[in-house]
Homo-oligomer: A and B are copies of this chain.
Amino acid sequence: MKDVQSQPDHRNIAIDKVGVKNIRHPVTVLDRANGTQQTVANINMYVDLPHLYKGTHMSRFIEVLSEHSNNINLRNIPGILEEMKKRLDAACAHIEVEFPYFIKKAAPVSSAQGLMEYNVAFRGSVNGEGLDLVVEMRVPVTTLCPCSREISEHGAHNQRGMVKLAVRFKRFFWIEDLIQLVEESASSDVFSLLKREDEKYVTERAYEHPMFVEDVVREVARKLEDDPNIVWFSVDSENFESIHNHSAYAFIERDKRSAQA
Chain A, range 183-218, C-beta contacts under 8 Å to B: 188, 190-197, 199-200, 202-204, 206-207, 212-215, 217-218
Chain B CB within 8 A of A111 CB: no
Contact B247 A22, beta carbon cutoff 8 Å:
yes
Task: State which of B37, B40, B115, B192 has its C-beta within 8 Å of the C-beta of A100.
Answer: B40
Contact A2 B188, beta carbon cutoff 8 Å:
no
* A25, B197: Cα distance in complex, Å: 24
Contact B44 A11, beta carbon cutoff 8 Å:
no
Chain B CB within 8 A of A32 CB: no
Contact A20 B246, beta carbon cutoff 8 Å:
yes
Q: How many copies does the complex hold?
A: 4
Q: Indicate with 1 or 0, residue by residue over A228-257, a CB within 8 angstroms of chain B CB atoms.
A: 000000001010111111111111110000
* Secondary structure of the A contact surface, majority rule: mixed
Contact A142 B243, beta carbon cutoff 8 Å:
yes
User: Which residues of chain B have C-beta atoms less than 8 A from A102's C-beta?
Assistant: 25-26
Contact B251 A17, beta carbon cutoff 8 Å:
yes
Task: State which of B18, B157, B192 has its C-beta within 8 Å of the C-beta of A214.
Answer: B18
Residues of A within 8 A of B (CB): 1-5, 9, 11, 13-26, 37-40, 44, 46, 49, 54-56, 58-59, 62-63, 66, 100, 102, 112-117, 140, 142, 144-160, 188, 190-197, 199-200, 202-204, 206-207, 212-215, 217-219, 221-222, 236, 238, 240-253
Q: Kindly list the 7 A-B residue pairs having the minimum CB-CB distance in the complex, ordered from nearest.
A: A155-B207, A21-B249, A152-B203, A17-B251, A4-B147, A21-B247, A18-B250
